[in-house]
Amino acid sequence: MSDSHVRVESLIKELVAAFIQHEANANPLITVTRASTAPDYRRVTIFFTTIPEGKEDDAMIFLKRCGSELRGYIKKKSNLKIIPFIEFSVDYGERHRQDIDEIAREIEEQQKHKTTEVNE
């Protein structure tokens, strides 16, 4: 992937996150995890997660409803020659990573608790 492609993805991710921060309610909290741009820059997929879990459908409805506003925001805030059509997708990979981190924390807590019991 070229440097310009990475820069465009990063810019779009930041702009989408800023737009969501200003326009969305705090429930659910929508976090943009990454952006994936087509080689011709005409389409971008924005990956997101929500807090709390299970609110992805509500977030998707909001994001799709605001799609044209979001494109206008990107056009106004950037100097991109091509304003991509935006698609949204739940970042299940990130969600699974968070679940694994939570399990690892629980195991660590259990091990600390067992060590404390043995030492007493």
Report the largest interatomic distance among the alpha carbons of the chain, rounded to a whole angstrom. Answer: 67
pLDDT digits (tens), the chain, 120 positions: 688 889 999 999 999 999 999 998 777 899 999 999 999 999 999 999 998 888 889 999 999 999 999 999 999 999 999 999 999 999 887 667 777 878 888 888 888 777 776 666
When the candidates are 3.90.79.10, 3.30.479.30, 3.30.300.20, 3.40.50.10490, the CATH number that belongs to 3-91 is: 3.30.300.20
Distance CA 18, CA 14 (A): 6
Distance CA 60, CA 40 (A): 25
> Residue 33 corresponds to which tokens in the numbers above?
């995890």
pTM for this structure? 0.77
> Residue 72 corresponds to which tokens in the numbers above?
């206008």
Give 46's strand partners: 35, 88
Nearest to 45 by CA among 86, 78, 8: 86
Residue spans per domain, the chain: 3-91
